[in-house]
Amino acid sequence: MVRTPSFDENGIKKGAWSPEEDLKLESYIRRYGHWNWRELPKFAGLKRCGKSCRLRWMNYLRPNVRRGNYTKEEGDLIMELHKQHGNKWAMIATRLPGRTDNEIKNHWHTHLKKRRRDKSYTSIEKNTVSTSSVDSEIHVSSSSSSTNQTVDQDCLQHIQILESCPFSPQISSTQNNTTPIMTSSQEDYFLPPEIEFSALSDLLDPPSDATIYTELEGTDDFWTTPFSWEEMSSYDNFNFFDEYDEFMQGLAMESLIN
């Protein structure tokens, strides 16, 4: 279900991401943040456009991103929010911790839209006359403050349910409930080490990131001087290349087995 990798006329790679590219992007961002998406691929050693990198990070590599395994509560919440706000997927995504707008959109088109249609069909059968349009995409309600409050309370309740479900990521105690859901890209830069990372990122050593970041940020040129993929190996406590070799060996072994 992935696009065949190809290169455009400018040598920019398109299509499916390889594990190697993922590793490069993830480790670069976790170390230096995404200071400029356009320039980032060059310094991260990737032959990709910035947009592609951003998308890959946001929808796939970013810590705490949950994929698949939608619960009924999540489905209900999406349907409710869609009813309120229409196709505002980014907005809806802020109410579902760990879910991306892209994935919610996909889930809507592949599962929920059908579910709504079925529901509407059933209600039409039962009531003979129904006021709801079966397949109109936009249901933006005129929002009074009282309605919003009710919805917000519902959402909070849903979020609490979702965070306690087995598929939810482990959120640190300091983040529970009171902390706004991270949507701003700035906030993705360096997450507390107690947050569980994906298996791939576990190859690296999370706690050292924050330390390096704090040290480097203190320098005057931190945000103006880009870091390159090559420079990454120069930090004493950064054993990325060892980890990378190990990772690639693992991949080679895997392909031998399969």
Partner DNA sequence: AACCATATCAACCGCACGTTA
Partner DNA sequence: GTAACGTGCGGTTGATATGGT
Q: What is the binding site for DNA (CB under 7 A)?
A: 1-4, 13-17, 34-39, 50-52, 54-56, 59-60, 67-68, 87-91, 101-103, 105-107, 109-111, 114, 137, 183-185
Q: How is residue 235 annotated by DSSP? A: S
CB of 205 to DNA, least distance (A): 25
CB of 207 to DNA, least distance (A): 26
Residue (2 or 129) nearer to DNA, CB: 2
Residue 222 to residues 68, 139, 206: CA-CA distances in angstroms? 37, 46, 20
Residue (102 or 123) nearer to DNA, CB: 102
The DSSP result for 23-87, as a single string, is HHHHHHHHHH--S-TTTHHHHHT--S-HHHHHHHIIIIISTT---S---HHHHHHHHHHHHHHSS
CB atoms within 10 A of CB 161: 16
Closest CA to 93 of 128, 72, 66, 113: 66
CB of 36 to DNA, least distance (A): 4
Residue (151 or 238) nearer to DNA, CB: 151
CB atoms within 10 A of CB 46: 22
Residue (10 or 234) nearer to DNA, CB: 10
CB of 15 to DNA, least distance (A): 5
Residue (3 or 72) nearer to DNA, CB: 3
CB of 14 to DNA, least distance (A): 4
CB atoms within 10 A of CB 72: 8
